[in-house]
Structure 1
Amino acid sequence: MSGLLDGQVAVITGGGTGIGLATAARFVVEGASVVIAGRRQAELDKAVAVLSGDTLAVQADVSRLDDLDRLYARVAEERGRVDTLFANAAVVEPEALGNLTEEAVDRILNINIKGLIFTVQKALPLFTDGGSIILNASVDASKGGPGRSVYAATKAATRNLARNWLEELSDRKIRVNVVSPGSTETPGLAGLAGDGDVDKLFAVLAARIPLGRNARAEEVAAAVAFLASKDACFINGVDLQVDGGFAQI
């Protein structure tokens, strides 16, 4: 154990599966006290069962402000502060432009943009000066693709929110950075295959990446842990692309 995050209190939204869960596991190994939040209680229960160390799970839908209030009330009561926030919760629901519905657009915007904004805003009263906020964007913020226009737009907005917030929070020396994963083999990505062949989907995506494979969730988690650590103390406003080089071609 390197203790990269010894003594930190970290909050991770979307922490029940995928990148969020992998990041929670990495943070625990690095010495942090971790609070994970997610919409599905069953997934949170499974996550707590596999995580060791000092971990608290709180059911919360980031698109519901009352849920966020309840999340941070638990954090205040049981941890007392926030040193690092990984705002990871998001949803992708591929659909062609001609088939988009108002309900689908509202759902994506409510989670990916409104939820992100208030996840950060409502954490601020608990935040330690000099803390770290990390926003999960995506390679789609700069690349995009068919059927992902609304999702990609929310991830581009995520990048721009970081640019603004780092200035707003400069008086408190709170760093705001972005991590942008490429294709990462998680349950969420597998779900995009629908009833199709997941292995085929993964192979098609991997063929587009210069390193010739998709990322593992643990590799993204390692990047997030670095941005949360003192080793990144003078890194502010970056978009750290964990995509095997895909955004560069």
Structure 2
Amino acid sequence: MAKTIVITGAGVGLGRALARRFAADGDNVVLLGRTAAKVEAAAAEIGDRAMPVGCDVSSPDSVRAAFAKIAERHSSIDVLINNAAIFEPFLIENAKDEQILSTIATNLGGPMLCARAAIPMMKSGSYIINVSSESVAMNFPHLSVYQSSKAGMERFSESLFHELGPRGIRVSNVRAGAMYEEGKVWDADIDAQIAFGTAAAAVGINLREKAISQFTSVTDVFRALIDLPADLQAASISLHARKAD
């Protein structure tokens, strides 16, 4: 039976790859993204099973409006994947107000706001998946705010796991490693990229040699999670890229 799957940050990257995968599997997908043109383009490529909705997950009003629009087409939500995130390396002493506040509001506040909006539309058997990062457990320089936002989201996932368990709604936290797809470009200040790479190398992390997985490979894990038998659940799993044989 086709599921209705809502994916945040679905205009590019992993979110778009997940939308493509689930639609190809016969599910209905709702693509949420801050830039409406990106989710509209992705939905047009995917076809009739895709519904694009412009949504800034850091804004309570934007989230409320987006889920009201979803309700006009779908009476219930089977899966919510909180994937939208801001990844921007910087030293805290040099951070601008907007860099700190937008990262926390999107990476931590976003999953909270979207979960709050989605839960009333969910039934027993539904699923919330929060996408975290392997960097939470690593000594990664220049990522203090990003790591803190993801660590906070993991704590939120655990609390939600216990809060929604009695209602039959499963919650998983997925720590993902470095991912890539053809044509992906890291849109960051070049000086910040250089400083990040230099600082990472100083602590033994060579970004040029670090293994990177394909988004399409990672979608297999999300498919497996969503299709878990009713008597199984996974509170948290970790994915790490490896160099293919």
CA distance in 2, matches of 1:162, 1:75: 23
How has the CA–CA distance of structure 1 residues 28 and 144 changed in structure 2, closer, same or farther, with 3 Å as cutoff? farther
Alpha carbons 1:226, 1:232 under 8 Å: kept:
no
Alpha carbons 1:144, 1:152 under 8 Å: kept:
no
CA distance in 2, matches of 1:92, 1:233: 35
How has the CA–CA distance of structure 1 residues 121 and 133 changed in structure 2, closer, same or farther, with 3 Å as cutoff? same
Residues 23-102 of structure 1 mapped to structure 2, 5 A cutoff: 23-102=18-97
How has the CA–CA distance of structure 1 residues 144 and 62 changed in structure 2, closer, same or farther, with 3 Å as cutoff? farther
CA distance in 2, matches of 1:8, 1:148: 36
Q: Which residue of 2 aligns with 1:190?
A: 186
Do residues 225 (structure 1) and 230 (structure 2) align? no
Q: Deviations over 1:210-234 (max 9, x none)?
A: xxx3111112222112111234751
Q: Deviations over 1:124-146 (max 9, x none)?
A: 11012121110010111111411
How has the CA–CA distance of structure 1 residues 62 and 176 changed in structure 2, closer, same or farther, with 3 Å as cutoff? same
Q: Which residue of 1 aligns with 2:201?
A: none
Percent of pairs with identical residues: 27
Pick the aligned partner of 1:12 from 7, 30, 33.
Answer: 7
SS in 2 for 1:136: strand
Pick the aligned partner of 1:117 from 112, 116, 124.
Answer: 112
Larger deviation: 223-232 or 152-161? 223-232
Q: Which residue of 2 aligns with 1:3?
A: none
Pairs aligned (count): 233
Alpha carbons 1:63, 1:114 under 8 Å: kept:
yes
Match of 2:223, as an amino acid?
A
Do residues 126 (structure 1) and 121 (structure 2) align? yes
How has the CA–CA distance of structure 1 residues 167 and 134 changed in structure 2, closer, same or farther, with 3 Å as cutoff? same
Q: CA deviation at 1:245?
A: 5.9
Q: Which residue of 2 aligns with 1:148?
A: 143
Q: Deviations over 1:44-97 (max 9, x none)?
A: 122012213411000000011111111111111101100000011110111012
Q: CA deviation at 1:22?
A: 0.2
Match of 1:44, as an amino acid?
V
Q: CA deviation at 1:155?
A: 1.0
Alpha carbons 1:179, 1:223 under 8 Å: kept:
no
Q: CA deviation at 1:41?
A: 1.6
SS in 1 for 2:141: coil
CA distance in 2, matches of 1:180, 1:35: 22
Do residues 242 (structure 1) and 239 (structure 2) align? yes
Alpha carbons 2:7, 2:29 under 8 Å: kept:
yes
**How high is the TM-score relative to the length of structure 1?**
0.85
Structure 1 unmatched ranges of 5 or more: 1-5
Q: Deviations over 1:24-60 (max 9, x none)?
A: 0111122211101001122112201221341100000
Q: Which residue of 2 aligns with 1:160?
A: 155
Q: CA deviation at 1:236?
A: 3.1
SS in 2 for 1:119: helix
Match of 1:215, as an amino acid?
S
Q: Which residue of 1 aligns with 2:209?
A: 207
**CA-atom RMSD, angstroms?**
2.5
SS in 1 for 2:26: coil
Alpha carbons 1:92, 1:151 under 8 Å: kept:
yes
Match of 2:207, as an amino acid?
L
Q: Which residue of 1 aligns with 2:100?
A: 105
How has the CA–CA distance of structure 1 residues 224 and 144 changed in structure 2, closer, same or farther, with 3 Å as cutoff? farther
